[in-house]
């Protein structure tokens, strides 16, 4: 196991490598990462069907968090480029290994390609018929979840985004320090499970969840012949809430504050603090 200073050096070197990866590889691996997180969301949704209503909300949150963690495991063990962990490349920029312009360009490409991957899985999932299982329990629950995510206050979403990416980047930091597979597995499982169980906000997970919510909304409106009141009554939401669930609100009222929060949480609260705190020991190891 690496000590904190060695881990900080390893993170800097790893993120430098990621930022310098050929663009075509970044595109494919970022799409894969967005898809992997979406598939973790699917595992979470299917694993908690009816659990909150029939057993306990806390247990549903716990099981959902643990199951969702498989998404990040897929990313880490396959070598994907995920926006929330890729913000750690800012450490390499601070260390002078990567230019700030290249770092920001890398973030933009990864964010966009994560969105492509997540949205692609959302449409594939809908047309697979899987969300219609259990009397369409899963599809119905995406709509109220999406409404909450686009109507909660900016500052709350921003702070939840900070909390979320502290857990995500700490899981990457800890997994990097571990040399064996089981150590990496548990580092990812517990920390990712924590942010999901606590309802924190992950921009890439939301790329799937809210896309699926918009798809579900369109499905139920079409089925009801355009009657929003009937859809609202069936899904136990308000008509105003349904009207708020749009692509524009998705981007500006959710992804904007959550993405900014993820950057602050991952880069500043974990990456730069960890790097600067261990700078002295890193110099001694050099």
Domains in the chain (CATH in brackets) are: 4-285 (1.20.1080.10)
> Which of 19, 278, 234 minimizes the C-alpha distance to 135?
234
From the CB of residue 103, how many other CB atoms can be counted at a distance below 10 Å?
23
Residues 6+ apart with CB under 8 A from 235: 140, 143, 144, 220
SS3 80: coil
Residues 6+ apart with CB under 8 A from 100: 93
Q: Where are the beta strands (DSSP E) in 149-232?
A: none
Q: CB-based burial of residue 142 (10 Å sphere; 0-12 exposed, 13-18 middle, 19+ buried)?
A: buried
SS3 198: coil
> Which of 210, 207, 245, 211 minimizes the C-alpha distance to 228?
245
Rounded distance, CA 124 to CA 149, Å?
A: 22
Q: What is the pLDDT of residue 282?
A: 66
Structure tokens at 128: 């697979």
pLDDT one digit per residue (tens) for the chain, 286 residues: 888 888 888 888 889 999 999 999 999 999 999 999 999 999 999 999 988 888 889 999 999 999 999 999 999 999 999 999 999 999 989 888 899 999 999 999 999 999 999 999 999 999 999 999 999 999 999 999 999 999 999 999 999 999 999 999 999 999 999 988 898 999 999 999 999 999 999 999 999 999 999 999 999 999 999 999 999 999 999 999 999 999 999 999 999 999 999 999 999 999 999 888 887 666 666 5
Q: Do 217 and 146 touch, CB atoms closer than 8 A?
A: yes
Rounded distance, CA 26 to CA 29, Å?
A: 5
Rounded distance, CA 145 to CA 122, Å?
A: 15
Tally the C-alpha atoms within 13 A of residue 177's C-alpha that lie toward its C-beta: 17
pTM exceeds 0.85, yes or no? yes
């Amino acid at each position: 196991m690496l000590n904190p200073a060695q881990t900080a050096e390893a993170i800097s070197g790893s993120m430098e490598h990621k930022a310098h990866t050929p663009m075509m590889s970044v595109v494919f691996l970022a799409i894969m990462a967005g898809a992997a997180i979406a598939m973790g969301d699917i595992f979470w949704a299917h694993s908690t069907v009816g659990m909150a209503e029939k057993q306990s909300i806390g247990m549903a949150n716990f099981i959902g968090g643990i199951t969702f963690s498989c998404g990040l495991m897929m990313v880490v063990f396959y070598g994907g480029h995920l926006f929330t962990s890729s913000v750690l490349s800012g450490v390499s920029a601070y260390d002078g290994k990567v230019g700030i312009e290249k770092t920001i360009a890398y973030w933009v490409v990864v964010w966009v390609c994560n969105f492509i991957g997540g949205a692609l899985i959302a449409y594939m999932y809908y047309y697979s018929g899987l969300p219609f299982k259990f009397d369409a329990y899963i599809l119905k629950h995406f709509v109220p979840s999406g409404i909450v995510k686009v109507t909660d206050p900016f500052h709350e979403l921003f702070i939840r985004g900070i909390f979320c990416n502290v857990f995500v980047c700490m899981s990457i930091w800890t997994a990097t320090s571990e040399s064996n597979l089981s150590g990496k597995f548990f580092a990812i499982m517990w920390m990712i499970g924590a942010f999901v169980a606590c309802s924190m906000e992950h921009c890439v997970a939301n790329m799937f969840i809210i896309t699926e919510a918009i798809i579900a909304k369109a499905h139920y409106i079409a089925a009801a012949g355009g009657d929003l009141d009937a859809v609202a009554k069936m899904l136990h939401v308000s008509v105003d809430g349904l009207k708020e669930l749009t692509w524009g609100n998705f981007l500006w009222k959710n992804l904007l504050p959550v993405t900014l929060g993820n950057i602050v949480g991952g880069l500043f609260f974990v990456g730069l603090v960890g790097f600067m705190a261990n700078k002295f020991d890193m110099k001694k190891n050099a």
